[in-house]
Structures are given as C-alpha cells and as structure tokens.
Structure 1
C-alpha cells in the first residue's frame, strides 16, 4: 500500500479536517473500548509525534508504505513546492539578488507565468515588473553560459587545479551510514550503493552496458566519487582554482523529512559546515567565491526562511556565508545568480565511448510505436496542475500511452525507458516542483520532451541544454491546456515527421552524451559527459575569477 499526498490547505479547511479526524478517532475509540484510555492516549501521542513534521503548516504531506520504492518519490520534495513568487524587494543578500522592482510600492509577491513570448501576472500593474524579473533570470543564464569551456577531456590541467576538502566524516560518509533509517518505511542503502549509482541492472538487461537503478537524489555521491579521481585534482591549496566542498546536504535534508525535530536540529549540520569553512585559509582568502557545493536535491529544500510557515528542509542556502559559493543543483532557484542547474542523474552510466555509441544507434533505430506517452501520476490536489487533464486526454486517445506512476510501474528503470524508447513525444508537466528527472530519462531515450512550463528546463540548465529550446523540445503553455481545453495530442500532430526526425537526431547525437553521468572509472575520449561539462565550466570560471 502506498499513499502520497502533497497539498496546500487553508485554515478553515484544516479545521474541517480536524473535525472529521475527531469523528474518526471517536469511532476507533468506541471500537477499542476494552483498551484502557491510558494506552489509547499513548498510541495517539506516538502517532502524532511520528507524523507531526509531515502534517504541518499549510502543507499536508503524507507518505507511508510497507513496500514503496523511492525511485520517483515525489513526496520527498513536495514540502517546498514553490509558487514562483517574484521577490518584490531585496533581501539580505542584495549583491546576488538584485532589486527587481525598483521603485515599486508592492508589498506582496506577484505570481506569474511565462510561455511563448507571453508574460502575465495576477495584477496588471505589475506586468512590467514581471517582465523585468524574467529578464533578470535570463541575464543570470547568459552569465552562466559565458563560462562554457572549450576544454576537452584530453587537455592538460596546467594552472587549473581542483582542491577537494577533506571534510570531517559527519558531513558526508556518516550521513550515508544512516541510510537504513533515513526513510521510515524503506531501507535507502541500495540507492546509495556503487557511489550513488545504486544496484546494477544485469539480469535480462536489454539496454546494454552501464545501466543502474539510480535514484534522482544521488548527485552528491556521484560528483564526489568522480572528482576524487579527476586529473586536475591538486593537494596543494595554492595550486587550486576551485575548491570543492563535499557536503551531502541533500542527505542531511532527507534524514529529517519524517522526524519530529526542531528547525535548530535540522540546521545544525549546515551551521557546523559554515563554521568549519570559515576557519580554512582558502575561504578567508576569497570569501568562498571560488568554492563549489554540489547538492543533490532541489534548491527550495535548502531555503527554509525564518518566516516560513512550513518547517520543510533546511536554511543552508539562506545563510549569509553561503551566498558567495557556487551551488550545483538538480533544480536552481531562478533568481539566485550562484545557483546552477545540472541534469538529474539518469539510469545510464556508460564506461566508454562505445557504450554511448551503441546506445545512440539503438534508440535512433527504435520503432516508435506510440506517438505520445505520459509517465506520471495525477496532481488533482494541486491547483495549477494539468496532469489530470493530460491523463484524461492520453487515456482516451489510441495514439497516447499512459504509464500510471501511482502504481509500482515507475519504480524500475526498465518500465520507464521501455515506454520512452518507443515514443515520439513524452509529456513532461511539472510535478511537486517545476523540474522532472523524467525530462532527462526521455531525452536519453530519444523521446522529444513536451514541456508546459519554461521553468522545467529552459531556465535551469545553461551548460547542458541549448538556448534554442526548439531544437530539442516542444513547448505548450499550460494555460492553454487548462483554460482553452487544448488537445495536446492534436497539437503535436502538427509537428511534421521531418521536424521530429531533426529534433531526435539533435537530441541523440548532440545532447545525449552530455546529459549522462559516466561510470566512476570511465575513459571517454570522443565525448564529454554531464560531469565533465560541469567541471570544465567551473574551472574556466575559477580561472577568470583569479585573474
């Protein structure tokens, strides 16, 4: 049995729920009348303490099961579901979050949507400010793109060193050691094995070499393992251009998600990290500007503020001392210049150029039996979700294949990749946050992603996806789907077979190698994987910073 609920609730609604809960518990009490009142109250207290961090504030967040696997577990990231409210004033870190609404008298955030040259807000007075806010996001991305390096894997590391801090084990290894009790109903250790790759897919594997049951939150372990073996790694801090901080902040967040602890406890390790870094000479020399953290969850999980109604996550990235370093994340906060998005880990980790070439040939020749597919579950509880509409459209159309992820079908790599390899288009609506691991699963399968929100990819991955998003994706504004009852399958029918073929060839031959994280001991000569692209660009930035 598996239940996963992530909802925003008003206070009256919560009162109604509380009233309903009272009647439920009364019935249970009558049924268990032979049990002593004291024992019954002890049971209630235990249940409340166990789940009070899950049902809190304006968010009801329940996730429990005896057998649920966490391969695409939305409930682990739902608590900080962002509403994309544009900041209407500077915060304490104004040097990184420029004033967007200069001269505005606004005191409330402005909700907005962007798509197909359309910028709208919930108040016409702020349309110009909204457009300016989007402009700021795009300017940040242009800065990030300016760090794109032409470096190849074979080039020397002369003058470009990477120093890896030897952090106390409580910041990384000890967190991995808590894997068996990290999630109350699931042993998480299998997902953290093989330095973050998870278990290898060997039996009956029809995909080829290099496939694993990789969890979407494994980025920290993957980067750490790879960077320890990087040819540009130096052991003398004076030879370094960038300083890598191997803090497993995502695992730190994850271990508190379902425990009844205070915010001080949740923030404890983050504060210890800052104190430790401030004592290091390289940090003092440049105030952390040449330091890099890789965090394996979405940015919102590290941005809990003091005035937040939800206790979800930590405040790591809201700390003043954490504003200067570069943060590598699977989902960036669009208005923070030093947040940089990189691809979610997929299931494919090639060991050689030949592994990549073999997979490219396989998927370019694949028989695309389904015109459209959607792998996901409904979000009927989310006001802005279009998933139920897409599911209804897909289920009623013979050209669309729906893989229902409310069951266990989406827990295994084979189920997802099988569908995507045989599909022309893959629908990718936002889930609990704008980005989706599924976008990258579809891309490495040669399936053209159909996006409904520009924040799902266009404002996220400047180093790994091109600025011209028409080369690899189709955009359909979610407002059209929701308000105009647009039929997505019919709209996609307007894309010619030649256009589809051109997009697929670009995805397979130009993008795919740079979207996968190669094996920890991989020898790639023809291609740069997602890790190599990230490190090379960071080294270029570090070199420029030092000059």
Structure 2
C-alpha cells in the first residue's frame, strides 16, 4: 500500500515542507459516472413551486387565525379567538360573567357615601358618581375593568367577559363591600345606612340566583378587601374564591392560599418617578402611621418607644389625611428603608406605599401573606425581621446600618422592576395580576364542584372544604 506525506502549511512553521507523518493512501475505487446535472430552467421551476406552496400555507394559517369564520364548518376547527391563542401556545382565556347587581350593592353605596359627606343627593345618571379614594379601591378597579367594551380590554388579560352566564367559567360578584364598611362606620357616620343590612341583603339575593345554587357558590368570585368586609356573612359565601388583603380575620375553613387570592391595598402615596439611586435618600428608616392599633398592631407602640430617639430615623404618628399623605410621600421618597409593622391584621397599606415609593420595606409581621408571590421574590425587594428580634433595643437600626450602599441600590432596582404590579391604574399592573391569579383557581374550582356533588352530606360541624382549604403551614417569616 502506498503512503502519502502530510505537509504543514507555511503559517504553522518555518519549514513548510516539514514531514509530520506517513498516512496510508486510500485504496483505489472504481470510477462511477455522475449523472448529468439538471438544467437551470428545471431547477428554477422546482424552486418557484416550493416557494409558492410555502407561501400558500402561511396565508392559509394566518387567514384561519384572524378570520375564524373561513375555517370549515367542523366543531374541531371552529375556534374562538381565545382558543386560537391556545392553539399558538398561550392558555385559553377564562370566561367571566359579571352579575348586574341591584344598584344598592354598587352605585347606591357611592351615593350614600356622597350624601353622608354633604355631597350630591341620589342621581339617575351613574356617570356623575365618583368612587371615593381609599386604600381598598381594588373593588372599583376590577368593576371598571369588566365594564369596559371587550375590544378596549387588554389582549394580555387572562380573562374575557361573557354576557351569557351559560358560557361562563366563573361568576364575579362586584359588590362594593369595603366602601360599604366605610359608609356604615363612625368616620363617615351615615345614620341612614347599615353595612350589616347590606351584607344580609346581598347574600339573600345571591342565594336566590340560579348559578349560585347550581354549584353551591364554588365558581363565584367575591371581593372583600377590607379585613372586616362581609364579616357578618362570610360563612355563607366562603365557598367562593375570596379576594382578600390577608387572612387575619378568617378561620382556616373560611379562607386560605389554596382557594383564595391575596390582593394588594391601593397605594395612597404618589408613585416615585425620579432616578433610581441612593444619593437623595438621606433618612435611614421612615414610618408615618397610626401608633395605636389592635391585635398584631400593638407592636407599633413598642417600636415607637424603641426608635423615636434614634439618629437618622423618622417615626411619626399620623392618620390618613391629605396633609399627612403629602408628608408621607416626601418621607418615603427620601428614605432608604420604610418600616412596615402589622396593622390590626397582619397586612397594612403602607407596604404598598413603600413599594411604589422605592423605599425598601422592613416587614415586621410574622403571619403576613403577600400578593403575587408566585412571580415576585419578596426577599429581593424587602427585609423581613421577626417580631421578637425587632423588639430588642438597638437591634433593628444596627442591622440596617450594616447594609451597604451597593446592596441598597440592588433593592431599589428590584423595586423599580416590580412596582407596576402594585399600581391599579397601570394597564399591565394590579388588575391584570389579580385576574391572572383568579384564572389559576379554575382547576381547583372544578375539582371542588365535582367533589362536593359526590360527597355524602355531613353535619354542619364538619367543614365541606376539609383539608383542601387548609392554610395552617406553621411557617413564619424569618430574617
């Protein structure tokens, strides 16, 4: 067998004829004649045919997607727009029917609030009514979103409103339960209005509805943002998906992370729009709010005693008023950290004021639940301190002073990324996220409907929800 010589090219060495090895030559093969190449005109025709066929396929696909009516009359191919999105890989939109509640449960409550404040008398034109600003305005934003013409609602919304209840996956009950609590409370003082009566009338109306009775309320969604909203009738509506700020006033068989959705308070502090940086944030720690609260909020008075004389710490007593909100806005926008102790229940509105202010929340509330925790890692935007540790004199301030400017800047950048999730009037903000959370409950809703119908009826002391709705994890936040 003959051998051949491998030669290095000139760029690999000074001698371009250096012998590096002897490589056996391949055996001789019989020469095979190659068929004649096709003519250029034949190749061109084949290419044109293939290109035309490909373009026709693309046209047919997009025409079927954007004009579903041209698809053959076959149930397999008659897709709604939502289903076409699913065909492309996105999940189908959940179909929501919103009840047209009697006026006394929606606009009538706004009228009572206005009259109690010395404003307008009841009117026929609801467009002249203005929903008052308060920390539980989520009920108004969700109601307004579903009242938009469907073509004006965001394509990114995970739900679609349907006008035929037979098509619905879920039923939304748009009662203004938090505003009702305000109107019936001591601050507004409408002597002619009773929140408790409203609650009872609402449930009596709801229990007469065909679609509530059909599935025992499991496929209904009810908002109760204020921890005391609907407190008189919560046992009668607990099967529904509840939109709540926390579980502070709910028993485990009434509310849980499995069944319900945690929603944020509506922020009352102006959103921070300046540059993201540490330089203009001179105050170490800021808090302005009610010093004296009940239950878990009793920690506030103790924190006041520990912190009010600390350098670089601003801690003030103040209630919700226009002047105090302006002062709080200034304080939060110029501070690195904002103190967020529990209120009467584990959550409080100042957490969300802090987030939109890019003031790093220092959360002292061992039983707090947080909105949208499936997509937000709160450890990147907040500092969690156990209550027992926070009450040690000097501990909290000393810990915060060890946080470097670089680390503070990292927190601020993360807050900037996620703050839109807590802004109700942001087109891709809180409302969309709440609907996304609600849509995720649909598989459980279907499970509970089927399970409820096949179970043998039990006595009233045995909760229907059983362990499916248990929220007793035994886990608390730690540093």
Range class of TM-score, shorter chain: 0.5 to 0.7
What TM-score does the superposition give when structure 2 sets the normalisation length?
0.62
Q: Which residue of 2 aligns with 1:171?
A: 105
- Matched-pair contact (CA < 8 Å) for 1:241–1:546: no
| Alpha-carbon spacing, 1:505–1:331, altered in 2? closer, same or farther (3 Å) | same
Q: Which residue of 1 aligns with 2:421?
A: 514
1:227 aligns with one of 103, 123, 146: 146
1:218 aligns with one of 122, 134, 137: 137
Higher RCO structure (Cα 8 Å, ≥6 apart):
1
Per-residue deviation, 1:531: 0.7
1:475 aligns with one of 359, 384, 388: 384
What TM-score does the superposition give when structure 1 sets the normalisation length?
0.55
Q: Which residue of 2 aligns with 1:436?
A: 348
Q: Which residue of 1 aligns with 2:235?
A: 318
Distance (whole Å) between structure 1 residues aligned to residue 373 and residue 179 of structure 2: 25
Matches within 5 A, 1:78-477: 158=92, 160-182=94-116, 198=132, 214-229=133-148, 231=153, 232-258=160-186, 266-298=195-227, 300-303=228-231, 315-319=232-236, 322-333=237-248, 335=252, 336-337=255-256, 338-347=259-268, 362-364=275-277, 367-379=280-292, 385-405=298-318, 411-412=324-325, 414-456=326-368, 459-463=369-373, 466=376, 468-477=377-386
Q: Which residue of 1 aligns with 2:413?
A: 505
- Matched-pair contact (CA < 8 Å) for 1:443–1:507: yes
User: What is the number of equivalent residue pairs in this alignment?
Assistant: 341
Deviates more, 1:331-340 or 1:248-257: 331-340
- Alignment deviations for residues 413-440 of structure 1 (CA, whole Å, 9 cap, x no partner): x322221111110011123332111110
Question: Where do 5+ consecutive residues of structure 2 fail to align?
Answer: 1-84, 154-159, 448-479
Distance (whole Å) between structure 1 residues aligned to residue 323 and residue 394 of structure 2: 27
Q: What secondary structure is seen at the aligned counterpart in 1 of 2:142?
A: helix
Q: What secondary structure is seen at the aligned counterpart in 2 of 1:178?
A: helix
| Alpha-carbon spacing, 1:410–1:375, altered in 2? closer, same or farther (3 Å) | farther
- Matched-pair contact (CA < 8 Å) for 1:242–1:538: no
Q: What secondary structure is seen at the aligned counterpart in 2 of 1:499?
A: helix
- Alignment deviations for residues 281-300 of structure 1 (CA, whole Å, 9 cap, x no partner): 322332211111122311x4
- Matched-pair contact (CA < 8 Å) for 1:163–1:237: yes
Q: What secondary structure is seen at the aligned counterpart in 2 of 1:517?
A: coil
Per-residue deviation, 1:195: 7.8
Q: Which residue of 1 aligns with 2:61?
A: none
Q: What secondary structure is seen at the aligned counterpart in 2 of 1:386?
A: helix
Instruction: State which structure, 1 or 2, has the greater radius of gyration over its C-alpha atoms.
Output: 2
Question: Where do 5+ consecutive residues of structure 1 fail to align?
Answer: 1-150, 199-213, 304-314, 350-355
Q: What secondary structure is seen at the aligned counterpart in 2 of 1:375?
A: strand
Distance (whole Å) between structure 2 residues aligned to residue 380 and residue 272 of structure 1: 31
Q: Which residue of 2 aligns with 1:127?
A: none
Distance (whole Å) between structure 1 residues aligned to residue 438 and residue 233 of structure 2: 21
- Matched-pair contact (CA < 8 Å) for 2:110–2:131: no
Q: What secondary structure is seen at the aligned counterpart in 2 of 1:449?
A: strand
Q: What secondary structure is seen at the aligned counterpart in 1 of 2:292?
A: coil
